[in-house]
Amino acid sequence: MKTVFSPLHSRRQVKTELDGGLLIEPHEKPSRAETILARVKDQALGDVLEPEEFGLGPVQRVHTADYVAFLETCWQDWLAEGKPGEAIPAVWAGRGMRHRVPKDIDGRLGYYSFAAETSISEGTWEAARASANVALTAQKLVAEGERAAFALCRPPGHHAHADLFGGYCFFNNAAIAAQAFRDQGYSRVAVLDVDFHHGNGTQAIFYHRADVLTISLHGDPDLVFPHFLGFEDETGEGDGEGYNLNLTFPPGTPYHVWSQGLETACQRIGEFQPDALIVALGVDTFEDDPISFFKLASGDYLTLGRRLEQLGLPTVFTMEGGYDVDAIGVNAVNVMQGFEGKA
């Protein structure tokens, strides 16, 4: 399986993440991508390609022009206002307030985000652009005949809405790849999010559409991020009614329970009969993940990969979460190797 990777991911080098009332070293750190890349090479998974440049066109098929423009100048605008630290949103339109775009950078940071843990600094824009290009390059490989391709995306994307960043995400790489398939004539596309967290951005982007089926397995949002979306009664709206499926699980969920949800998801995908599949692959479902509460073991990712291959679909994997850096390489590449039949 080919892997697409951009060294530009390392342009995102924020030093802070707001967590537990402290500014900590971010969980979403450069070593995550480097560790996965090292495992890809160690396992001779396949060629590693740098992304092509697709420009902002395919990004703006998913994200609004004003949001993209905000991200492009956010850091400069923040510096221009003499702020001493990294750009962190700290104010939002609460209930009864107005959802309009303020001029001030603090107001715009709040308008275009839904959470405060995701700092922005020099290089975040370049890394986010490269990550979207990574996903689009993997999508192109599959559209040109590869059975599957691994988009080693960093920063991740599945929390990003059309005009919201958060959860370490800026551009929704999985949604951008799904929309690219649609724009190239694939009638139906399924996005399966196996990250520990709900793919709230992906859900929101396609929520009113029947051409892209969105499914996510995740920790109960009553207990974990993103807290305000991802419940099982969210099934789509309008034309999209019935084309969103959320499967939630409690703390301590092991693979043999989680995989029952996977089977439900695979059943739904079979009914939908998509022309392509995007797997939003987070491995923060791992038993030792520092911010999550499922109990999947490394060997379970081989089983997961093998099950995904049995769907028989052209498949793009977009890297999402996973924060046990010692294990992330084995766990992520196990999915690819399971997909390719490794026992």
Ligand X SMILES: NCCCCCC(=O)NO
Give catalytic residue positions. Answer: 159
> E strands along the chain, which residues?
2-4, 17-19, 22-24, 48-49, 148-151, 189-193, 212-219, 244-249, 276-281, 315-319
CB of 166 to Mg ion, least distance (A): 15
User: Nearer Cβ to Zn ion, position 321 or 329?
Assistant: 321
Is the N-terminal amide bond of 226 cis, ω within 30° of 0? yes
Is 63 a binding residue for Mg ion by CB under 5 A? The answer is: no
Q: How far is CA 91 from CA 77, 100, 108, in A?
A: 17, 13, 9
Is 117 a binding residue for Zn ion by CB under 5 A? The answer is: no
Strands 2-4 and 148-151: parallel
The answer to whether residues 194 and 215 touch, using CB atoms and an 8 Å cutoff, is no
CA-based end-to-end distance of the chain: 16
Interacting positions 244-283 with Zn ion (CB under 5 A): 282
Q: Which does 70 bind (CB under 5 to 8 A by kind): ligand X, Zn ion, Mg ion, none?
A: none
Is 289 a binding residue for Zn ion by CB under 5 A? The answer is: no
Chain contacts with ligand X (rule: CB under 6 A)? 19, 117, 159, 167-168, 195, 197, 225, 282, 284, 291, 320-321
With 0-12 CB in 10 A as exposed, 13-18 as middle and 19+ as buried, what is 299?
middle
Is 324 a binding residue for Mg ion by CB under 5 A? The answer is: no
Interacting positions 198-227 with Mg ion (CB under 5 A): 216, 218
Is 234 a binding residue for Mg ion by CB under 5 A? The answer is: no
**184 CB-near residues (< 8 Å, 6+ apart):** 143
CB of 320 to ligand X, least distance (A): 5
Q: Which does 329 bind (CB under 5 to 8 A by kind): Mg ion, ligand X, Zn ion, none?
A: none
Measured CA to CA, the distance from residue 32 to residue 285 in angstroms comes to 15
CB of 255 to Zn ion, least distance (A): 17
DSSP state of 74: H
Phi/psi region, residue 171 (left: phi>0; alpha: psi -120 to 50; beta: rest), is: beta
Which span (185-193, 242-250, 302-310, 330-338) binds Mg ion, by CB under 5 A?
Answer: 185-193
Strands 17-19 and 22-24: antiparallel
Residue selected from 78, 181, 196, 207 as contacting Zn ion according to rule CB under 5 A: 196
CB of 158 to ligand X, least distance (A): 6
CB of 160 to ligand X, least distance (A): 11
CB of 253 to Zn ion, least distance (A): 14
Measured CA to CA, the distance from residue 57 to residue 285 in angstroms comes to 33
Indicate the SS3 state at residue 265.
Answer: helix
Residue with tokens 């603090």: 106
Measured CA to CA, the distance from residue 318 to residue 153 in angstroms comes to 6
Q: Which does 216 bind (CB under 5 to 8 A by kind): Mg ion, ligand X, Zn ion, none?
A: Mg ion
Measured CA to CA, the distance from residue 160 to residue 199 in angstroms comes to 8
User: Nearer Cβ to ligand X, position 68 or 291?
Assistant: 291
Residue selected from 34, 163, 193, 309 as contacting Mg ion according to rule CB under 5 A: 193
Q: Which does 168 bind (CB under 5 to 8 A by kind): ligand X, Mg ion, Zn ion, none?
A: ligand X
Which span (29-37, 43-51, 187-195, 296-304) binds Zn ion, by CB under 5 A?
Answer: 187-195
CB of 284 to Zn ion, least distance (A): 4
User: Nearer Cβ to ligand X, position 22 or 343?
Assistant: 22
**263 CB-near residues (< 8 Å, 6+ apart):** none
| CB-based closest residue to ligand X | 321
Q: Which does 218 bind (CB under 5 to 8 A by kind): ligand X, Mg ion, Zn ion, none?
A: Mg ion
Name the residues that contact Mg ion, by CB under 5 A: 193, 195, 216, 218
The residues that touch Zn ion, with contacts defined as CB under 5 A, are 195-197, 282, 284, 321
